[in-house]
Amino acid sequence: MIYTASEMNLQEGVKKEIAPLLCEEGTRSNPNDIKLLSSTKKMALLACIIIPTVLFSGDMLLASSLLATGRASGAVEEMRSSTIVSLNVSNSDYGSDWEDLYSHNMGMYPWKFLVEPFRLTTFRAACENGGLTCAVGATWTMTYDEIDGPQTAILSVIDGGQSALHTCTKPGRMWTVEVSIPEGADSQSFKGVCKYVRRELNRLHDADRVRFLTALGKYHRIATTSIGKELGYGDRFLGIDDVIRGHIARRDFDGGFTPIHTWLSFITGHSLFMLRLDISLHEIDPTLPVSVPYWDYLSAASEYSDMYDAVIFSPKWFGNLSHLMPNSGLLHGALAVKATAEDVEVNPYGYLQQTTYSNHLPYVTRANTICGYDLTTDDCYDSDGSTANSIRTAWPQCDSYNDAASETTSLVELNTLLNSLHGSVHLAGGGTYDCASGGFETVHAAVGDIYWEKYRSFTKSLAIKSYDFWDPLGDFECPVPGSCDTTSTTYVSPNTSWPDPSNPCRCSHTLTAYEDLSTYDFSRLLEVFSEIVHTSDHITDVDEGLLALGELDDANRTTALRAIIEIYTRPGSVSNFATPFTSVNDPMFWPIHNNFEHSYVYFQLTHPMREPDGFNWSWPVDSSQCANCTGHNFHDPVPVTAGSVGMEGMYGHDVGLDLEFDEHITNAETMLLIDPSRVALPYVYDTISPMC
C-alpha cells in the first residue's frame, strides 16, 4: 500500500504517542482498511501494524508489509499463501503508460506487458487480495528470448522482494519474468516485450523531445555517411546524403517514377526509411529511449483554424515558415547537402535536390503560400465581393479521411488512401516563394474576386498539385547542375524570350513565342491538367485546341493563362519540403511521414494478414506502373539493405528470413518485417484508433 510521506509524518515518537489510542482488538485486523480512515487515524493504526522500518521512494512511503504481532501477524500468513495474480509494469518517465494505452487500444497489440528500452522499469507483483505482501521475500528472474535460447537479464530486487528494477537494452525481444514466493507457494511467470513507443509529438515529454531533436539535428549536420564513419559510428549508420539518394533512387525510370513512390512500394519503402533513421539516431545516441515520433496533422487540422499555429511549427520543434531558417529550434546550422559528381539529381547550386528546384539557400526554407496562393486560409467572398469567412485549405481533413478509410478494403486502396493522406502536405508544409510575375496573385487580379471565388476549388487544385506539373510539362531549360554561384550568379536562357536577370540562376520555360498566346497550342497543358485535376468545369477547349477560362474576356483570360503557365514553368524558389523526392532535406519530413505508417498499422492490426477478415492484402502480380520501374513489384528489392535496418539478425529470424548484412530487402520480405504484431519489430505506436 502507498501513502504520501507528507500526509503521514511517522516519526518514531509520534507512533509511540498515538499507538495506545487506537490499538484495540478490532482496529488492526485488516491493513487494507487503512485507506478508509482519516489521516489521523491512519497514523495511529499504522503505528500499530507497520514495522519501524519503512521504505521511501521519492515522496512516496511504501508500507513494508511485515506486520506486528497479534492478528496482524496472522494476516501475514494468510496473505503469503495468496497467489500472485498480476504484474504492474511502469517506467521512470511515463509511469504505467502502456497499461493505459493497451486498454485504450482495446488490446489490438498482442502484448499486455511492455517495457521501453533505456528507461528504468519497475515490476511490482500484485496479490489475489490486491495487496503486495504475498511477495515479501520473493525471488525474481528474467530472461530474454534470443536465437540461441533464453538469456538471463539483470534485475535488482527491492521492497523486500515485492518489486524488481530493470532497464531493457534489447528492443524487439520477448521477455519472461518469473516471481517465486517463499514458503512453498507456487511461482508465477509473466511474458512481455521490449519495444520503443512511437508517440505523437504532443505527447512526448520535454526531456525526450530535446534529446530526440539533439540527435536529429546532429544527424542532419553530419550530412554524409563517410563523415559519420569518421566520427566512429557503426556500420549501420547511414548519412542523410545516402538517405536522400535512396529516396530519389533512380528517377530516370519511365515517367520519373522511383522504386518507393507512386505504387505499393510507397508503404514498404517509407517504413524502412523511418526504421533506418531510428537506427542511425541510436548510433549517435546509443541509449536514446525515443523512436521517431509522429505528427497527427489530421487531428491538428480539426483543432487549429490556422495550421501554422500547430506545435510542429514552433521554435521548440521545427520552426516556422519564414523563408530562411538557419536556427530552427535545436536544428540550427546548414542543412542542405552538397551533391557529388555521381548524383543524378542535382540542383543548379550543387545541392542534392531535384534538378528543377533552384533554391540557392543552404538552410531549411519554407513558405505558407504557393506562388502567392495562401495555404493558411481560403478567403470566401459574398456576392458583393466582401470577405465572408475563412476556412482551412490544403491540409487533409478528418472527414474526408474517415470517409475514404471506411471504404478501404484492399492493399491497393490503402496505398491510395495513404498517398492522399500525405501528398498535398508537401506543398502545404513547404510552399514556394519568389515566383515570377506574382504567381496566383496575378491570376486573382485577372479574374476578379467573384470569379476567383467561382474558380476557387480549381485554383486550389492547381496550387496544391503544382509539383505534379513541373516535371511532366517538361518545358524547362535549367542551368548545368552545380554551375551556379550561391551568392551572385544569374542565368539567362538563350532559348527563351523571357530572360530574367534579376533572379539568381533559375530554370525557365522554353516557350519562344510566349508573348502571343494565340500561337501556343495548349493541348499538352490540357492533357497534363486532365491527368491530375478535374478541369472540365473551369478550363474548356475552344477553337483550334486553345483553352479558355470560363466567361472571362480575352484580355483577362490571356493574363490568367499566362500566369498559370508561368507558375508551372518558372516555379521560383521551391522549399525543401515541397520537393517531394528530396524533401528529406527538411527534418520535419520524419514525423509527418511517420503519420501515414501510424495509419497503416491500424489496418494491419484490425485486418491482420494472417487472418485478413475480408481485407485483400494481395500485391497484384506484375503491378509495376512502367516498363522499367524496378522496385514496384512484390519480389523486387527496395533501396535498403538488411544490415542498415537490423534485419540480418533476430529481426529477420523472427519471420524465418536468413538475410545477409549487405543484402537488399524485397517488398515481399518487408511486408513480413513491418507487421506490427511481430515481436522483433522494435517499436509500437502509442494509440491505435479507427479514425481521427
List, for residues 60-113, the tens digit of each pLDDT value.
Answer: 222 222 222 222 233 333 334 446 668 899 998 999 888 888 888 778 899 999
Percent of the chain with pLDDT over 70: 59
63 and 104 share one domain: no
Q: Percentage of residues in the chain with pLDDT exceeding 90? A: 19
Check pLDDT > 60 for residue 121.
yes
Same domain assignment for residues 40 and 98: no
Residue 374 lies in a domain: no
In a domain, 137, yes or no: yes
Q: What are the tens digits of pLDDT across the range 543-601?
A: 333 344 555 566 666 666 667 666 666 667 778 888 777 888 889 999 999 998 999 99
Q: What is the pLDDT of residues 17-31, one digit of tens each?
A: 333 333 333 333 333
Tell me, yes or no, whether 621 lies in a domain: no
**Residue that is last in its domain, among 194, 223, 255:** 194
Give domain status of residue 617, yes or no. no
Q: Structural domain of residue 98, as residue ranges?
A: 81-194
**62 and 126 both lie in a single domain:** no
Name the nearest CA neighbour of 664 among 686, 682, 680, 648.
648
Q: Is 434 a member of any domain? A: no
Residue 644: inside a domain: no
Give yes or no for a contact between 362 and 292, defined as CB atoms under 8 angstroms apart.
no
Same domain flag for 92 and 168: yes
**How much is the pLDDT for 348?**
80
pTM over cut 0.85: no
Return the bridge partners of 166, or none.
121
What is the distance of C-alpha 189 from the center of its chain? 35
Query: What's the CATH number where 135 sits?
Result: 2.60.40
**Residues 190, 92: one domain?**
yes
Question: 27, 44, 68: which is the final residue of a domain?
Answer: 68
What distance in Å separates the CA atoms of residue 155 and residue 141, rounded to the nearest whole number? 7
Residue that is written with C-alpha cell 511502469 in the block: 90
Residues 119 and 173 in one domain: yes
More confidently predicted of 686 and 542: 686
Residue 620 to residue 601: CA distance in whole angstroms: 21
Is the domain of 63 the same as that of 112? Answer: no
Does some domain include residue 675?
A: no
Query: Do 60 and 131 sit in the same domain of this protein?
Result: no
Q: What is the pLDDT of residue 15?
A: 33
Least confident of 158-167, 315-324, 674-683: 315-324
Say if residue 44 is in the same domain as residue 142.
no
End-of-domain residue from the set 68, 91, 109? 68
Give mean pLDDT, residues 452-464.
56
Instruction: Determine the Cα–Cα distance for residues 34 and 15; give it in Å rounded to an integer.
Output: 15
Q: Beta-carbon neighbour count of residue 423 at 10 Å? A: 17
Return the pLDDT at 509: 62
For residues 246 and 453, the model is more confident at 246
45 located within any domain: yes
Q: Give the separation between CA 440 and CA 459, rounded to whole angstroms.
A: 8
Number of domains in the chain: 2
Q: Does 311 have pLDDT greater than 70?
A: yes
The three-state secondary structure class of 169 is coil
Specify whether 174 is located in the same domain as 88: yes
**601-650 pLDDT, tens per residue?**
999 998 887 776 789 998 887 655 555 667 788 888 887 888 888 877 76
**Same domain, residue pair 87 and 134:** yes
pLDDT at 631: 77
Q: Is the pLDDT of residue 532 over 80?
A: no
Query: Does residue 54 sit in the same domain as residue 86?
Result: no
Average pLDDT over the chain reads: 70
